[in-house]
Amino acid sequence: MAGFNAGAASVGVCYGTSGDNLPPASTVVGMLRENGFTVVRLYWPDPAALAALAGTGIKVVVGAPNDVLPALAASESAAAAWVRQNIQAHPLVTFRYVVVGNEVPAGATAHLVPAMENVHAALAAAGLGHVKVTTAISQGTISVHLPPSAGEFTEEARSFMGYVVSFLERTRAPLLANLYPYFVYTLGLGHMDMSFALFTSPGTVVQDGEYGYQNLFDATVDALYTAVAKLGGSRVRVVVSETGWPTAGGAAASVENAMAYNQNLVRHVRKGTPRRPRRVEAYVFAMFNENLKEAGVEQNWGLFYPNMERVYPITFGA
């Protein structure tokens, strides 16, 4: 794999498995190591992936998928069993976060915080209280992106995010958010030039009081910080659990744009945002193009093709 960078990557990567032609997990873990990734996000506790990650020192963000939330919320013993089978069963894996639910739909949010509470208690009882429990929210929960000082959750999101933020503030866990400047730009939500979305604006585009914003990524992260603070989460750190740009299948989706966005992201995250000038923890979506996803852009976010070739040249260390 020519052009890889063996230094430590400044970003993590999302390893999705919605494909019928992907390499085996042991091969993928080798690719993670070759490319300097020190942290990976899994959407479910895939036994093959966890076995391959054991002993590597690569930190793992693992999901408790949406379909298990009702059981985890209803029963402390169910949560204890889930932790036993999926976390304790892998003592050589370095778990970073357990992500209870990913973009949980409105009808299921009543299960969210009870499930988080039960998993948190189960980890603590197992002597794994250092593994933080959180959830991952979608870009769609944010109703106001610009200016960041006016950042706001949607009314629907506020109905459950107050409980989520209270849990995270109490347990000192971060909030994970799947943030995509690509969608804000292509849906026309900000009436902006594409350079603002691709980190290529030559100067400040949005002046927000004392803070100048040169890219949409920073603006979105800081808008989310504002929205979280309004709900009492002044200590809650935002982790960008997915971000990226598609190479095909939709408006503005191209190899050139994807390469620009992701390479600029890698270089940028160390600087932080205007309001929080310290490194942003971010995960590029995704490791592979996944052919079982919905046709269109959804199949075209990968850094690699399933044959392990790079979709475009990029280095992950900044």
pLDDT in tens, 135-189: 999 999 999 999 999 999 999 999 999 999 999 999 999 999 999 999 999 998 7
Q: How confident is the model at residue 318 (pLDDT cuts 50, 70, 90)?
A: low
Q: Rounded to 5, what percent of the chain is helix, strand, coil? A: 40, 20, 40
C-alpha distances out from residue 291 to 20, 22, 153, 283, Å: 7, 9, 33, 21
Average predicted confidence (pLDDT) for the chain = 96
Q: What is the pLDDT of residue 189?
A: 72
| Dihedral over Cα of 201, 205, 222, 107: its sign | negative
Q: Is the pLDDT of residue 190 over 70?
A: no
Q: Are 224 and 145 in contact (CB under 8 A)?
A: no
The answer to whether residue 33 scores a pLDDT higher than 70 is yes
Any bridge partners for residue 80, and if so which? none
User: Which residues form the catalytic set?
Assistant: 103, 242
| Percent of the chain's residues with pLDDT above 90 | 95
**Predicted structure pTM score:** 0.97
Residues 22 and 29: their CA atoms lie apart, in Å, by 12
For 265-311, what is each residue's pLDDT tens digit? 999 999 999 999 999 999 999 999 999 999 999 999 999 999 999 99
Please state, as a whole number, how many other Cβ atoms lie within 10 Å of the Cβ of residue 16: 22
pLDDT for 4 beyond 60 = no
Could you tell me whether strands 152-153 and 142-144 are parallel, antiparallel, or unpaired per DSSP bridges?
antiparallel
> Is the bond preceding residue 286 a cis peptide, omega within 30 degrees?
yes
Mean pLDDT along residues 247-276: 97
For residue 1, is pLDDT > 70? no
Specify the amino acid at residue 69: L
- What spatial distance separates the first Cα and last Cα of the chain, rounded to whole Å? 19
| Amino acid making up residue 115 | A
